[in-house]
């Protein structure tokens, strides 16, 4: 291990291919997009925006593979997943470096997200136990037994966001495939290179042809997947308007749907919080992944009279973060994931200023020496933000904090529950009573107590509430198993 | 041999520093053991331990670092812990240099254990053990 910038795996990755029916296939689409490194501004690849015909090829192959795959015993079905886990461990650093290069997150964050990816493979390896049904002797009447079994449904798809290029598809497909379904992944067109490398490992792991496929593309490609009559279920992670639209459309077509939408996460700090311990964790919540996590803190709610002291310490810590290219291990915050994201965030900062927020730390116009073409926005902190203003209500998805001061814990809870979103929320406190009250009353799918990024592990469900989630069964954990299987009851008399 | 050490700005870089330290100590202890002298056996023992520790730290870094524990880390100055990993020509000088490097490593792991206490549950004991081991190695070489 040496200091300095870690090497890029490649300077240019070429044009990505689709992986259909166990083969690498060049897309025939004339529509393509460049893939840019957001830290350097360099073009590092090209992604095709696949056609509806190519989607049909992938889904048809998945459908063809389904019957034989569902008849493969569960303990055999998980063998390629075990091999894939080993391949991930062997290529762990390389995947993380590609991820940093195309997305911008710092290498620690990339490594952490690859770990979360592997966690989901490991979870799915337990499917022989997780898939077991229920059996009750004399369950229906004397001499009449009743059993409930789980069965796979067919072809599923996942449409992934840009903020976690490796991990998000793995919330879904390993469990789905281990349950006996087949699957088609569509990575985000902004960050397709990590999945390209991962699918090389998937190919090497030796899944039967058609069981797991990948189609590159944009919204049109995604729409073709959602509308395909052979697709039985859709998992989506992205913005709220798109999540809502997919939920409505796929639902109307009779498909299973789980759609994770946007977020506006409220982080409450009580006067009794141990700031020495909590401050670095709070800073990581707001600025980790450059604020581009669905679990990132967005609104800092300060309760009581100690707000000024917290603000001073928070701003000092935020202003000390080292920005740069994420392949430099000492960098603490990378760029945002692309030019359009950057423009959107800058526009919202302008709006926050225009609406009267007091700008304590301004990340606009920040320059990172050597990376002048990068999409960098420094930590940005607004104080005394009007709860009705745009930056207090809308998802910014960037390193921008809105501070709101309130008198009591009840006020803080009311404020958080006033949001249309309900993805995550955290409280920093030394009081068990306050923590209990917060976790009991806040309407959010993921609650942190002295934890700023309450990210459920692979064996727990991951999903929000209100406008942050559309569906009933969340991704990951037992919810995932339920989503990817149907229940069948058999009542027998002999 | 010159060894670069990363700035310690997060728990990820803390592990990176530890791995760089172990890699340096692997080389240094091997060199010291091949030079012979009365402490060659102790240096050889140190070499085996550092080879094992490097693997252990790589495994821990992969398994323990996820989003819940990623956060900025302050108060650990790499210059305070980065040892001089150059081996002098003579055997006794090499052994002494190795002992000094082990003492620096011990200091690093002791302070890393303190930092880990509230964030990386379960790591404090491991880091303290590494510190104690380095102290013992240093003492056995200096005896």
What pLDDT was estimated at residue A205? 98
- Per residue in A286-327, pLDDT (tens digit) is 999 999 999 999 999 999 998 999 999 999 999 999 999 999
Percent of chain A with pLDDT over 90: 99
DSSP code of residue A211: S
Query: Cα–Cα distance between A406 and A227 in angstroms, integer?
Result: 47
CA-based radius of gyration for chain A: 23
What pLDDT was estimated at residue B1? 52
Instruction: Residue A117: list chain B partners with CB under 8 A.
Output: none
Query: Cα–Cα distance between B114 and B125 in angstroms, integer?
Result: 10
Chain-chain contact of B9 with A92 (C-beta, under 8 angstroms): no
Q: Which long-range contacts (CB under 8 A, 24 or more apart) does B54-58 make?
A: B54/B19, B54/B22, B54/B23, B54/B26, B56/B126, B57/B15, B57/B18, B57/B19, B57/B22, B58/B19
- How buried is A244 (Cβ within 10 angstroms: 0-12 exposed, 13-18 middle, 19+ buried)? middle
- Per residue in B63-119, pLDDT (tens digit) is 888 777 888 998 999 999 999 999 898 999 999 999 999 999 999 999 999 999 888
CB A19 within 8 A of CB A202: yes
- Per residue in A149-163, pLDDT (tens digit) is 999 999 999 999 999
The CATH superfamily of B11-142 is Ferritin, core subunit, four-helix bundle (1.20.1260.10)
Average pLDDT of the segment spanning A330-337: 96
- Per residue in A11-52, pLDDT (tens digit) is 999 999 999 999 999 999 999 999 999 999 999 999 999 999
Phi, psi dihedrals of residue A59, rounded to the nearest 5° = -70, -40
Phi, psi dihedrals of residue A473, rounded to the nearest 5° = -85, 125
What pLDDT was estimated at residue A346? 98
User: pTM surpassing 0.80?
Assistant: yes
Closest CA to A399 of A427, A364, A356, A423: A364
Query: Cα–Cα distance between A444 and A451 in angstroms, integer?
Result: 14
Bridge partners (DSSP) listed for residue A145: A492
pLDDT at B120 over 90: no
- Per residue in A169-211, pLDDT (tens digit) is 999 999 999 999 999 999 999 999 999 999 999 999 999 999 9
CB A25 within 8 A of CB A16: no
Query: Cα–Cα distance between B43 and B94 in angstroms, integer?
Result: 9
What pLDDT was estimated at residue A1? 40
Query: Cα–Cα distance between A417 and A295 in angstroms, integer?
Result: 16
Query: Cα–Cα distance between A270 and A196 in angstroms, integer?
Result: 45
- Per residue in A364-415, pLDDT (tens digit) is 999 999 999 999 999 999 999 999 999 999 999 999 999 999 999 999 999 9
Instruction: Residue A295: list chain B partners with CB under 8 A.
Output: 67
SS3 A56: helix
Closest CA to B8 of A280, A291, A279, A9: A280
Query: Cα–Cα distance between A298 and A306 in angstroms, integer?
Result: 20
Query: Cα–Cα distance between A488 and A493 in angstroms, integer?
Result: 17
Average pLDDT of the segment spanning A95-120: 97
Average pLDDT of the segment spanning A223-232: 98
CB A262 within 8 A of CB A467: yes
| Å between A2 CA and nearest CA of chain B | 5
Closest CA to A62 of A17, A21, A19: A21
CB A217 within 8 A of CB A189: yes
| Helical H segments across A337-464, by residue range | 339-354, 390-393, 409-417, 432-441
Tokens of B116: 């880990």
| Å between A284 CA and nearest CA of chain B | 5
By Cβ distance, the residue of A2, A108, A113 closest to B4 is: A2
What pLDDT was estimated at residue B69? 82
Average pLDDT of the segment spanning A240-255: 98
By Cβ distance, the residue of A1, A113, A115 closest to B62 is: A115
Residue pointed to by tokens 């095709």: A48
What pLDDT was estimated at residue A3? 55
By Cβ distance, the residue of A89, A107, A455 closest to B67 is: A455
Task: Provide CB contacts within 8 A for A426, sequence distance 6+.
Answer: A265, A266, A267, A268, A285, A297, A447, A448, A449, A450, A451, A452, A454
Tokens of A389: 């203003």
For strand A421-422 and strand A465-466, is the pairing parallel, antiparallel, or unpaired?
A: antiparallel
Instruction: Residue B63: list chain A partners with CB under 8 A.
Output: 115
| Å between A337 CA and nearest CA of chain B | 18
Tokens of A217: 């593309």
Closest CA to A432 of A268, A266, A272, A265: A272
| Å between B143 CA and nearest CA of chain A | 31
- Phi-psi group of A134: left, alpha or beta (phi > 0 → left; psi -120 to 50 → alpha; rest → beta): beta
Instruction: Residue A451: list chain B partners with CB under 8 A.
Output: 68
CB A454 within 8 A of CB A439: no
In a mutational test of the B interface, the residue from A108, A120, A168 whose CB has the highest number of chain B CBs within 10 Å is A108
Average pLDDT of the segment spanning A463-472: 97
pLDDT at B24 over 70: yes
pLDDT at A358 over 60: yes
Domain map (residue ranges) of chain B: 11-142
- Per residue in A124-134, pLDDT (tens digit) is 999 999 999 99
Question: What is the H or E stretch that residue A294 is in?
Answer: none
Q: Would you place residue A339 in the very low, low, confident or very high pLDDT band (cuts 50, 70, 90)? A: very high
pLDDT at A55 over 50: yes
CA-to-CA separations, A370 to A39, A101, A323, A336, in angstroms, rounded: 10, 15, 12, 17
Average pLDDT of the segment spanning B2-27: 91
CB A27 within 8 A of CB A48: yes
Q: Taking all residues of chain B, what is their mean pLDDT, rounded to a whole number?
A: 92
- Per residue in A403-429, pLDDT (tens digit) is 999 999 999 999 999 999 999 999 999
Query: Cα–Cα distance between A460 and B123 in angstroms, integer?
Result: 24
Q: End-to-end alpha-carbon separation of chain A, Å?
A: 68
By Cβ distance, the residue of A281, A330, A455 closest to B6 is: A330
């Amino acid at each position: 291990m040496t200091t300095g910038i870690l090497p890029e795996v490649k300077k240019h990755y070429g044009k990505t291919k689709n992986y259909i029916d166990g083969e690498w296939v060049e897309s025939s689409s004339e529509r393509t997009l460049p893939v840019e490194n957001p830290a350097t501004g360099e073009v590092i690849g090209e992604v095709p925006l696949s056609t509806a015909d190519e989607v049909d090829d992938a889904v048809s192959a998945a459908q063809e593979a389904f019957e034989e795959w569902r008849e493969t015993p569960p303990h055999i079905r998980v063998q390629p997943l075990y091999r894939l886990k080993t391949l991930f461990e062997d290529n762990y650093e390389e995947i993380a470096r590609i991820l940093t290069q195309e997305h911008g997150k710092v290498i620690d964050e990339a490594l952490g997200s690859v770990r979360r990816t592997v966690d989901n493979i490991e979870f799915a390896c337990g499917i022989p136990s997780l898939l077991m049904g229920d059996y009750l002797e004399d369950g229906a009447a004397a001499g009449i037994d009743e059993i409930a079994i789980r069965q796979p449904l067919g072809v599923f798809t996942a449409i992934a966001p840009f903020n976690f290029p490796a991990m998000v598809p793995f919330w879904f497909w390993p469990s789905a495939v281990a349950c006996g379904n087949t699957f088609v992944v569509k990575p985000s067109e902004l960050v397709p290179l990590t999945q390209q490398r991962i699918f090389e490992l998937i190919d090497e792991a030796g899944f039967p042809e058609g069981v797991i496929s990948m189609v590159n593309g944009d919204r049109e490609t995604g729409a073709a997947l959602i509308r395909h009559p052979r697709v039985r279920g859709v998992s989506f992670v992205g913005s709220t308007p798109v999540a809502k639209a997919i939920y409505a459309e796929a639902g109307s077509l009779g498909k299973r749907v789980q759609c994770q939408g946007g977020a506006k996460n409220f982080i409450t700090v009580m006067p009794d919080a141990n700031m020495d311990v909590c401050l670095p964790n709070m800073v990581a919540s707001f600025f980790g992944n450059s604020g581009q996590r669905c679990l990132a803190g967005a609104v800092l709610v300060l309760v009581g009279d100690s707000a000024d002291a917290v603000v001073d310490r928070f701003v000092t810590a935020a202003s000390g973060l080292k920005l740069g290219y994420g392949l430099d291990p000492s960098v603490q915050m990378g760029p945002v994931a692309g030019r359009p994201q950057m423009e959107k965030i800058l526009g919202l900062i302008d709006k926050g200023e225009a609406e009267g927020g007091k700008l304590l730390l301004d990340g606009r116009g920040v320059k990172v020496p050597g990376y002048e073409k990068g999409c960098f926005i420094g930590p940005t902190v607004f104080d005394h933000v009007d709860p009705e203003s745009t930056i207090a209500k809308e998802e910014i998805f960037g390193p921008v904090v809105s501070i709101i001061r309130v008198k009591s814990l009840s006020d803080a809870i009311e404020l958080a529950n006033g949001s249309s979103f309900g993805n995550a929320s955290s409280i920093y406190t030394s009081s068990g009573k306050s923590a209990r009250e917060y976790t009991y009353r806040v309407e959010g799918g993921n609650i942190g107590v002295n934890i700023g990024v309450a990210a459920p592990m692979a064996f727990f469900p991951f999903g929000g509430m209100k406008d942050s989630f559309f569906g009933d069964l969340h991704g990951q954990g037992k919810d995932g198993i339920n989503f990817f299987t149907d229940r069948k009851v058999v009542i027998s008399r002999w | 041999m010159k060894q670069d050490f990363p700035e310690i700005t997060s728990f990820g870089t803390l592990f990176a520093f530890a791995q760089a330290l172990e890699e340096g100590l692997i080389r240094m202890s091997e060199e010291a053991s091949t030079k012979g002298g009365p402490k060659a056996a102790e240096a050889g023992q140190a070499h085996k331990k550092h080879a094992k520790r490097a693997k252990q730290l790589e495994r821990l870094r992969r398994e323990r670092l996820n989003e819940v524990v990623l956060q900025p880390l302050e108060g650990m100055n790499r210059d305070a812990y980065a040892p001089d990993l150059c081996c002098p020509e003579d055997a006794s000088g090499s052994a002494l240099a190795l002992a000094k490097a082990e003492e620096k490593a011990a200091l690093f792991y002791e302070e890393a254990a303190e930092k880990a206490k509230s964030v990386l549950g379960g790591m404090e004991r491991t880091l303290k053990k590494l510190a104690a081991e380095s102290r013992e190695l240093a003492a056995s070489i200096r005896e």
